[in-house]
Amino acid sequence: MSTHRLRVDWPNCKARGLCFELLPELVSLDEWGYPVVAGEVTAELLRDARAAVRACPHLALRLVPTPPG
């Protein structure tokens, strides 16, 4: 079973916080409103993670596969 992680494209991120609103199980916000991603995306959260990636207004969030091992 493959796992995934969320990656933030920092130059494009404008700290809107939509990723946190859509995926609070994995994303928190720092003191300036930028996302802090904690852990891998589980199978149960994969659908919500994909929705957060699609909803990012600045295309600053990506879902990437985690290499095995």
> What's the pLDDT score for residue 2?
63
Domains plus CATH for the chain? Answer: 4-65 (3.30.70.20)
User: What pLDDT digit, counting tens, does each position of 26-45 carry?
Assistant: 999 999 999 999 999 999 99
Q: CA–CA distance from 50 to each of 6, 31, 32, 40, 47 (Å)? A: 9, 25, 24, 13, 5
pLDDT averaged over every residue in the chain: 93
> Does the pLDDT of residue 19 top 60, yes or no?
yes
Q: Is the dihedral of CA 14, 17, 22, 25 positive or negative?
A: positive
Q: Report pLDDT digits (tens) over 48-61.
A: 999 999 999 999 99
Exposure string over 41-66, b if 16+ CB within 10 A, otherwise e: beeebeebbeebbeebeeebbeeeee
- Report which of residues 67 and 2 the model is more confident about: 67
pTM of the model: 0.88
